[in-house]
Chains A and B, each alone.
Chain A
Amino acid sequence: EVQLVESGGGLVQPGGSLRLSCAASGFSFSSYWMHWVRQAPGKGLVWVSHINSDGSGTTYADSVKGRFTISRDNAKNTVFLQMNSLRAEDTAVYFCVRDTRTYMDVWGKGTTVTVSS
């Protein structure tokens, strides 16, 4: 079964850091681009970042550029999102998503990040 399982969310103070992980199984992880997409409480989906299949290329939404870093370990079938200088507006459920190069076809259940003092 194709599966993505996120972890690493939690409560963090403004200015703090958090590292999210996404463990993939059931498919050839190293063949796929991967994304992080977030959803603030009661709000819509917002794309955060993506990484290409070998990790050599990344892009970021303007709202997180310079603060967040996406990476992957193809040997461990895992993609990461390092989040620094967190703000209240980063509070959201963060979804890990698989990309076939034209569409996002598999979504994890998400991990919740709350930034609050």
Chain B
Amino acid sequence: SYELTQPPSVSVSPGQTASITCSGDELGDKYVCWYQQKPGQSPVLVIYEDMKRPSGIPERFSGSNSGNTATLTISGTQAVDEADYYCQAWDSSTAVFGGGTKLTVL
């Protein structure tokens, strides 16, 4: 079965740029979405179709996808961005999530 691999944790200082990677076989040939989940809350879509931002998502969130790696980039990271982030793609009519990355802003 298809797998997406994320680092368990990423740390960033306020105001700096955070990058969270998601790796999978020929991932660049698939659309990737990114979801943000804060404790006790439902996930929120922050990036879809590799690099598009839904309405209401700040411009500091951006995405890219090429080769075997997709990347979520948060520029000028704020304390409010501290959360778990999950990548997701489709493979053979099934949705696959990465294991999630805990972003710590310190």
Residues of chain A at the chain B interface (Cβ within 8 Å): 35, 37, 44-47, 50, 59, 61-62, 95, 102-105, 107-110
- Shortest Cβ distance from B37 into chain A, in angstroms? 8
| Cβ 8 A contact of A61, one of B45, B54, B88, B94 | B94
Q: Say yes or no: A50 contacts B95, CB within 8 Å.
A: yes
B interface bracket (residues with beta carbon within 8 Å of A): 20 to 34
Cα of A101 to Cα of B51 in the assembled complex, Å: 16
Binary contact readout B10-49 vs A (1 if CB under 8 angstroms, 0 otherwise): 0000000000000000000001010101000011110011
Measured in the bound complex, the distance between the Cα atoms of B93 and A95 in whole Å is 19
B contact set with A: CB distance below 8 Å: 1, 31, 33, 35, 37, 42-45, 48-49, 54, 84, 86, 88, 93-100
B95 touches A110 (CB 8 A): no
Inside 8 A of A35's CB, which chain B residues have their CB? Answer: 95
Offer 25 A-B interface pairs, CB within 8 angstroms, sorted by A: A37-B95, A44-B97, A44-B98, A45-B35, A45-B43, A45-B88, A46-B97, A50-B95, A59-B93, A61-B94, A62-B1, A95-B42, A95-B43, A102-B49, A103-B31, A103-B33, A103-B45, A103-B48, A103-B49, A104-B33, A104-B35, A104-B45, A104-B88, A105-B48, A107-B42
Bound state CA distance, A17 and B57, in angstroms?
Answer: 39
The secondary structure that dominates the A interface is strand
CA distance A110 to B43 in the complex (A): 10
Q: Which residues of B contact A47 (CB under 8 A)?
A: 88, 94-97
The answer, among B31, B49, B99, for a CB contact under 8 Å with A44, is B99
